[in-house]
Structure 1
Amino acid sequence: MELFELQAKIADLEQQIAELPAGSVTKKTINGNMYFYHRWTENKKRREKYIPAEEVDSFQKQVERRKALEKELKVLQKQLPKKSVSAVSAHTFATNIRTGEALRTFSASVRKYRKRECFRQLHDYIYGEQQDKVFILYGLRRTGKTTMIRQIFVEMSDAELSKAAFIQITARDTLADVNRDLKTLEEQGFRYVFLDEVTLMEDFIEGAALFSDVFATCGMKIVLSGTDSLGFLFTEDEQLYDRCILLHTTLIPYREFESVLGIHGIDEYIRYGGTMSLGGVHYNETSTFASKKSADEYVDTAIARNIQHSLRCYQYEGHFRHLRDLYERNELTSAINRVVEDINHRFTLEVLTQDWKSHDLGISASNLRRDRENPTDILDRVDLVAVTDSLRKLLEIRNKAEQTLALDDIHAAEIKEYLDLLDLTREIDVLHLPDVSRKSSRTVIAQPGLRYAQADALIRSLLLDETFSALSLPERTAVQERILTEIRGRMLEDIVLLETKLANPKKQVFVLQFSVGEFDMVVFDPVAGSCQSFEIKHSTEIASQQYRHLIDEEKCAQTEHRYGPITGKFVLYRGESQVVEGIQYRNVEEYLRSLA
């Protein structure tokens, strides 16, 4: 194997290993029942986490896969000539540093990758004027951080690359180690230093000013990256206040999902969107959110671990607040997962019960009756009260056997604060007319694939209820698809609301509810004193019923009295853009691409 191929293979293996769980799977017998746990060592302490029985096989395979890859990595590393480890003598450094030709190899596989829109900010920092600031590249796992750094190396000339270093931080490293290595690099004329997963250092948050005050001010361009988003936010608030540039990668809008990954279609984004993972032609099967198991694993490793690591390292663990007891009993990961699931369960319940109560299920029933290929009156025969009760009961499912501390509203509220800080959740205002004093909101999960995977699993559980037990397979399939269509419709609304809000920071974006009916979205421009109203439909067909609220004279009069003239009335849907009876029908994918 050529040296170039060998180094590329090693870099690929290291990345795969980092995404798999370390440690082992163990089992315990409690009151005659068998329970399984993930056991691993972290910061010289043994950690354990409960694994649901249905996930044990999958988890065990991941552990075994990691061990196999580690063996393969050791074999390949032995084939490396000593001089190829680094352009600088490896023994002079305390941390794992790549320089010179090793960086060309490290970046080779991303040469043809398309760039995220936020790449320009990183590029401008590296090649711009000296600012005496460090650049912080942070976000949840699999959102493109390390890829962006490797893309910078691809663009560097030989002269620039000779002055660049990439430091892969581990939990064993300390700020003292990094400080010594940076001084050595500085003495040898290095100008560009990238530190990946820098928050793994236990003392990073308390001592991060070192990077700006000592090295950035002396002319080094320092890029700090990692998945510990909360840790970076804590750091920016204290040690690096006014001495850093923050770039958050977590939110991946539809236009980037389509342009960077080359995957087209809003339904693909609804089902799998939220990370930059790409599995080629098998993308659907290998997506981070291809199943509830993979979605839950992502919450555990990318979100829960993120929050706990930050709280453990910040102010000597003084920021846990009411979550300390959960953390000390190894139940905080489970609690965070339950809060995320509750947000999605409430979303699912709201979609279904509101639809059924407001006769939209009658629309679903009508659609099924008129279906050209498989007409059915199944929804006319379903006991909706029983179905709703069944769904409510499902929301109370908890792993009671493993809980020693109840999860109350205070715990949930504090966890929700951290989810907001991670940009995983956002609130969309719901305003009311004519009662302007009423105001509520709905929580949007910024990674749609995560929400869909959990909602889909909930619906599958619902269809196992007695209410459906007597139905034929075609009937059960029809009901499931109809309900999931309703879920996709509401998710489409949330996606449009969130992306419109982010693209229009000086405007007010909200849902406007009336005594009867609503505008799915209103965009109010306080400077111009005008607004636009929208209906958002997960449909490829046009029907007058879709825009009945937009042409309702009373609703329009109330809206204009409060928010000024309505300068545009739109229906966003999945069909062709056109004008119908004065209403602008616009393809929703075209609309989302246009947002910047």
Structure 2
Amino acid sequence: MDLSEMQTRVAELEQQISNLPAGSITKKTVNGMEYFYHRWTENKKRREKYIPADELENFRAQIERRKELEQELKALKKQLPKAKSANPSAFTTNVRTGEALRSFAASVRGYRRRECFRQLHDFVYGEPQNKVFILYGLRRTGKTTMIRQIFAEMSDTELAKAAFIQITAKDTLADVNRDLKLLEAQGFRYVFLDEVTLMEDFIEGAALFSDVFAACGMKIVLSGTDSLGFLFTEDEQLYDRCILLHTTFIPYREFESVLGVHGINEYIRYGGTMSLGGVHYNETSTFASKESTDEYVDTAIARNIQHSLRCYQYEGHFRHLRDLYEKGELTSAINRVVEDINHRFTLEVLSQDWKSHDLGISASNLRRDRKNPTDILDRIDLALVTDSLRKLLEIRNKAEQTVKLDDVHAAEIKEYLDLLDLTREIDMLHLPDVSTKSGRTVIAQPGLRYAQADALIRSLLLDETFSALSLAERTAVQQRILTEIKGRMLEDIVLLETKLANPKKQVFVLQFPVGEFDMVVFDPEAGSCRIFEIKHSEEAAPQQYRHLIDEQKCAQTEHRYGPITGKFVLYRGESQVIDGIQYQNVEEYLRSLA
């Protein structure tokens, strides 16, 4: 048996062994009766499972077969040359192979996998497609971890044919081409290139990966944080020769299942990245503080856009942003647009609350609070507070700005934020005036929005009227207003995730002259709709569904969108039915979306 045949047999044996039960069979005697159990070790813990009598012989045969195959595999591996890392000095770029990849993957073995991992897995182990796989998204959304998880599950034979190239800004496409040719000559089959868009000539020459190396049977995975760069590359160079997987958006169900962090309030405050799983998430979260949030906006978002535009079409895609770029103010401008979106969100919540019902409810609740009643929300100068918040937008380096940030700049930056999947628009429709249409911008990373809104509220508390309050009163007011912010954010989260999970349906807010449905899901094919109220509350109350049972609103809605097939209140309490209205726990609802 030659080397190639031995490697093939090793791969076959590893596959067969993985499909057979590990461990042993043990017997226990209880009251004179014999019982048999499957015993094995998993995550350093001993496990046992009862084996029914009619399955015992077949199970015993599988255990014995596994042991035979393991003995054959052990003997065969002794004959194989040990997997060695390729000589690093032979490469121009930073190439890891062999045992270095085992060490690289070791720390992620216990990590849970993102839902999109299956797409990467199927590409790596599927049939050659003459395409490259592009894994892209903002920083801390799990790209490199997914690659390490691929390495962690590779057999020795597969790992011997795998390489990981860490690209730096000093590398060029010529350097990478040279190293890929060396890897190809040595029989490498799986090549992963991380942060590939750091090469300034990547966008203009990316077809090299698909047309030369992928076409020859190599599995090429390109990853990086420069989302725009990859999108430009697809448009200009790769066309239909690439598979795109975007990691930026992390829905609630993944935040909970992958990170092990439970509760919609945790998602509101910290959701948006995969920076840490499990215990003490909020202590090291990307959005744990205003400072860390600003750093993320600056490095992960603003520089992403600026780097892409600088490298694309020889800096020919700046359009109206060129003046800002040439004066070194583009990153600051992008940051200000992100902040402006959140400022407008916060102002909208506060001012709308005052003139409609939500903050009016807050004021009423504070007045009637049994422990610490206060009429502070009746006494503050709303116009003054609103004006001061508007001025906050211009605080950032205002004295150093030489180019005015106008609506054209903001619109172009917003286009790029949409391409990054950072922002999405939710339609706001109106009845009976169907010609009126507006929208609201949703930030797809809740933690980013909450951190900036929280900082604005802290600024609000510097108002003279607030400063005269006691600490207890200031704390109560801050918590009440932040509760309103969370309520609006919960609406946005539900709207966004419902919209993404239902691409063939229309998801929107429906406003009436007085009141609104927080969410309508209209199915054009079925000619029907469902209507929702979304509440941050843990308790059910009749006033929560007053709009859902309003005969005039329901009649107008059915005339326009067909029969109403369900009326729901999504809230943080237990699922139940009240007066024909389906109350559903919002976390359960978000988990159910796929």
Report the TM-score, using the length of structure 1 for normalisation: 0.85
Q: Which of 236, 239, 253 is residue 238 of structure 1 equivalent to?
A: 236
Aligned residues between the structures: 513
Q: Structure 1 residues 340 and 358, CA, compared in 2 at 3 Å: closer, same or farther?
A: same
Matched-pair contact (CA < 8 Å) for 1:86–1:102: no
Instruction: Quote the Cα distance in structure 2 between the aligned partners of 1:396 and 1:101.
Output: 53
Alignment-derived partner of residue 426 in structure 1: 424
**Deviations 1:509-547 (CA, angstroms, capped at 9, x unpaired):** 000000110000000000000000000000001111100
Which residue in the other structure is 1:223 paired with? 221
Structure 1 residues 548-569: Cα deviation after superposition (integer angstroms, max 9, x where no partner): 0000000000000000000000
C-alpha distance in 2 between matches for 1:172 and 1:135: 23
Residues 152-301 of structure 1 aligned to structure 2 (within 5 Å): 152-278=150-276, 280-301=278-299
Give the counterpart of 1:89 among 84, 87, 90.
87
Structure 2 partner of 1:399:
397
* C-alpha distance in 2 between matches for 1:111 and 1:412: 43
For residues 119-157 of structure 1, the C-alpha deviation after alignment (integer angstroms, 9 at most, x for no partner) is 000000011111110000000000000000000001110
Q: Secondary structure at the match of 1:510?
A: strand
- Give distance in 1, aligned partners of 2:435 and 2:492: 23
Contact 1:86–1:98 (Cα < 8 Å) also in 2: no
SS of the residue 2:279 aligns to: helix
Residue 485 of structure 2 is aligned to residue 524 of structure 1: no
Offset at residue 166 of structure 1 (A): 0.3
Alignment match, 1:485: 483
Q: CA deviation at 1:372?
A: 4.3
TM-score by length of 2: 0.85
Match among 123, 126, 130 for residue 124 of structure 2: 126
Which residue of structure 2 aligns with residue 514 of structure 1? 512
Pairwise CA distance, 1:472: 1.2
Structure 2 Cα separation of the partners of residues 296 and 346 of structure 1: 17
The residue that corresponds to 1:42 in the other structure is none
1:85 is displaced (CA, Å) by 13
| Identical counterparts, % of pairs | 89
RMSD (Å) for aligned C-alpha atoms: 1.4
Distance, in Å, in 1 between the alignment partners of 2:127 and 2:277 is 38
Distance in structure 2 (CA, Å) of the matches to 1:594 and 1:199: 36
Distance, in Å, in 1 between the alignment partners of 2:283 and 2:369 is 29
Shift of 1:383: 3.4
The answer for the alignment partner of 1:136 in structure 2 is 134
C-alpha displacement at 1:371, in angstroms? 3.2
- 1:444-495 CA deviation, whole Å, 9 max, x = no partner? 0000000000000001001101221211111111111111111000000000
Instruction: Give structure 1 stretches of 5+ with no counterpart.
Output: 1-83
Say if 1:393 and 1:317 are closer, same or farther in 2 by CA, change over 3 A: closer
Aligned to 2:385: 387
Q: Could you tell me which residue of structure 2 aligns to residue 322 of structure 1?
A: 320
Find the aligned partners of 2:167 and 2:438 in 1 and give their Cα distance. Answer: 44
1:59-86 CA distance string (max 9 Å, x none): xxxxxxxxxxxxxxxxxxxxxxxxx997
| Counterpart residue identity of residue 149, structure 1 | I
**Do the aligned partners of 2:358 and 2:484 also contact (CA within 8 Å) in 1?**
no
- The structural deviation recorded for 1:373 is 4.0
Q: Which residue of 2 aligns with 1:336?
A: 334
2:372/2:473 contact within 8 Å kept: no
Which one-letter code corresponds to 2:411 in the other structure? Answer: A
Contact 1:163/1:191 (CA < 8 Å) preserved in 2?
yes
2:570 is matched with 572
Tell me which amino acid in the other structure corresponds to 2:489: M
Structure 2 equivalent of residue 414 of structure 1: 412
Gap change, CA 1:396 and 1:88, over 3 Å in 2: closer
Task: Flag structure 2 segments of 5+ consecutive residues without an equivalent.
Answer: 1-81
Q: CA deviation at 1:280?
A: 4.9
Find 1:355's aligned residue among 353, 356, 363: 353
Cα distance 1:181–1:114, how it changes in 2: closer, same or farther (>3 A)?
same
Is the partner of 2:237 in helix, strand or coil?
coil
Report the Cα distance in structure 1 between the residues aligned to 2:151 and 2:370, rounded to whole angstroms: 56
Letter in 1 for 2:554: C
Could you report, residue by residue, the CA deviation over 1:194-248 in whole angstroms, capped at 9, with x for unpaired residues? 0000000010000000000000010000000000000000001121000000000
Task: Work out whether residues 171 and 199 of structure 2, in 8 Å CA contact, stay in contact via their aligned partners in 1.
Answer: yes
1:468 matched to which residue of 2?
466
Change (3 A) 1:449 1:85: farther
Task: Tell me the amino acid that sits aligned with residue 109 of structure 2.
Answer: R
**Cα deviations across residues 335-389 of structure 1 (Å, max 9, x unaligned)?**
0000000000000000000010013222112222333443333323333343333
Shift of 1:284: 1.2
Is the Cα–Cα contact under 8 Å of residues 161 and 188 in structure 2 kept in the other structure? yes
The residue type paired with residue 245 of structure 2 is: L
